[in-house]
Structures are given as C-alpha cells and as structure tokens.
Amino acid sequence: MSESRQEQDRMAENVSPNVECLSAGIIVVDHLCAPIDRLPRAGELIMTEELPLSIGGNAANISIDLARLGVSVGAVGCVGRDVFGQFALDTLRSGGVDVRAIRVHEQAPTSGTLILNVQGEDRRFIHCAGANAVLRVEDIPLERVLRARVFYVGGYLLMPALERPGALAGLFRQARGAGVTTMLDVVVPGAGDHWHKFVEVLRETDIFLPNADEAEVITGLSDPLAQAERFRDAGATTVVITRGDQGTLLVEPGRRIRAGTYPTQFVGGTGAGDAFDAGFIAGLLAGEDSVGCLRWGSALGASCVRSVSATGSVFDRQEALEFMAGHSLPMEVF
C-alpha cells in the first residue's frame, strides 16, 4: 500500500464520518487592509487603520460560516507546515469545523492572498496558490463524502492537481450515486481557455455557483441568463449566478428566479460569495425550496460585507432568522 493511501486511511479512521456538509477546496490566509482612499504611488507610504490577518478561501469560509449557523461541517484541503497553516487550522478548529481531513504538506507553503481595499472600488488581489495546488482527489476521504448530505468543492481552477481529466467528475458521480448533493464554485485566475475543464464535471454537478464575472470569463457571454443556460446545457442541474449589488439569478429545470438584494452597510466584499453559498447550503439542509435558499444565501451575503474580512461579520442562525423576518428580498419568478 502506498504512503499516500496509508495516510488517507489513517485520516478516515480518525475522523468522525458524519457531517451534514463536507467542504473541500482552497484554504487561504488573507492579508487585508482596511479601506484606503487610493493606491500608493511607487515608493509612497499610505496609512490604514487596520491590517488584519484572516481565514480565507472558499472551502474555509464556507466551513466557518456553516458552523456559525449550527451546521455540522468538515473541511478538506491542504495547508503548509508553517505559521500560516497553523493559523488556518486553529481558526477553523476554534470556529467549530472538523479539520482532521486537512492535509499538512511538508514542502508547499500555505496559500495566501493580499487583499487591497480602496474606497469606492472593487477589491484587488495578489494570490499565492501554495499548498492548494497539490490537493488531489485522493486527499478527499470517499467515505466522508458518501455520508454527507452536501459535498461542496470551492476554488475550482486554482487546484491543478484536482482538475486533471475525470478526477473530480468521478468523485461527484460517486457522491450523487449515494444521494449526496454536489455543489461546485470557482475562482478564475484570469482570462484563458477554461471551458474544457468544465465539460466533464458539470455533468455531475447538482448546483453550480459562479459569479457573473467568472461566468463571463468561462463562457465568453456577458448576459447572466445566457451564462446560466450555457452551464445548464453543459449538464449542471441548477445554476446560480451571483451578481453583487445586482442580486442573483437562479436557473433550474422549468424555472428561473431573479432575486434582488437585502439592505446592508457595505464595508468590503471579501467572502460575500462564499457567505451566499453557505446560506444557500443552510437553506437546502433545512428543506427550503430554491426561493428559500436564495433568501438564506442573500441574507448571509448581506451580513458578510459589513466587514473587510471574509467571515468576521457573518450572521449566526438566530441573527439570520431575525434579519430575514424583518426584511423582504425582491424576487421575480419567470
């Protein structure tokens, strides 16, 4: 038996097998700045009120947010054996996330993102893939996948070892065969021919959750409805296109739903898409239909943008319920 296989078996033996959601994908440590008036010129020093260090990456953010909602969740991914990897593990563990299926890599550093927030502008990112680049399908305990209710993979296109032909599609196929809902989200590293990486996996995806900018890069289409239909034609059962302050579009068999946004105070957008995903999953686990899932997702997304970090201001379950009871979400079914 190979060393990697032995390691995976040891992990499976030592990890509680039953979680409602297994969240796999990128785990990142975010280096953030509080909003500044403008970017510095070359050689110039600009002051900011805060430079926080925070957990980031789709899989980590989803896990933290779901645990805050009272959902049992396990995270799967890779970090380096360094101070940032320990920070990520400690943060997830203290947030109530099962971290025992996270692989600590001896050579690759923990992934990091430098996030620059400028008043009135979208965020700017500088990213190091680090250990996320070595995450393989073999690192994801199959028994845990098959015993979850939802299997979520986030950060697709930033994990080359996971994106080899047939790998994730095969895992999703096994999950669906066991009645597990498969969900996929992406992080697009820039322009390129990305479509070929989706041909197989979308056929096994129950819910696909890109934002409109990502969907445009992948499909070459600017209209969110056309984007969603392209992904549906490729095999995804339900497609949810998040559009920032313009709301959300959901396309599923026989129905399209256009949702607006909840009122909120905007400080920073980091993690808002992940918070939406977590809310959508929470609604799904609570037995909500697509309209209810959109309400949950939109509420969590609205709570997230009240701080610069990805998870710092996200609602807990009681806060989310009270917020949704006190606010209406514009919705059009067509």
CATH of 23-37+51-333, one of 1.10.3720.10, 1.20.1440.230, 3.40.50.300, 3.40.1190.20: 3.40.1190.20
The answer to whether 102 and 57 are in contact (CB under 8 A) is no
Residue 16: predicted pLDDT? 54
Residues 172/183, Cβ–Cβ less than 8 Å: no
Position 9 pLDDT exceeds 70? no
Angle between helices 290-304 and 272-285 (to 10 degrees): 140
pLDDT for 18: 87
d(CA 169, CA 202): 8
Q: Which residues of 218-251 are buried (b: 16+ CB within 10 A; e: fewer)?
A: bbeeeebeebbbbbbebbbbbbbbbbbeebbbbb
d(CA 275, CA 70) in angstroms, rounded, equals 14
**Tokens encoding 280:** 């959508």
Q: How high is the pLDDT of residue 123? A: 86
Give the tokens for residue 132: 């996320």
pLDDT in tens, 94-153: 999 999 999 999 999 999 999 999 998 888 999 999 999 999 999 999 999 999 999 999
Q: Which residues contact 328 (CB under 8 A, 6 or more apart)?
A: none
Tokens coding 326: 């006190």
Which tokens in the block code for residue 47? 């002051």
pLDDT for 15 beyond 90:
no
In the beta sheet, which residues pair with residue 23? 75, 152
Q: Is 93 helix (H, G, I), strand (E, B) or coil?
A: helix
Instruction: Tell me the mean pLDDT in the region 182-193.
Output: 94
pLDDT tens digits, 65-107: 999 999 999 999 999 999 999 999 999 999 999 999 999 999 9
Q: What pLDDT is attached to residue 1?
A: 35
* Phi, psi for 283 (deg, rounded to 5): -65, -45
* CA gap 221, 4 in Å, rounded: 41
Give the pLDDT band (50/70/90) at residue 209.
Answer: very high
Span 210-236, pLDDT tens digits: 999 999 999 999 999 999 999 999 999
Alpha-carbon distance of 15 to 3, in angstroms, equals 18
Whether 30 shows a pLDDT value over 50: the answer reads yes
Averaged over 166-195, what is the pLDDT?
96
pLDDT surpasses 80 at 4: no
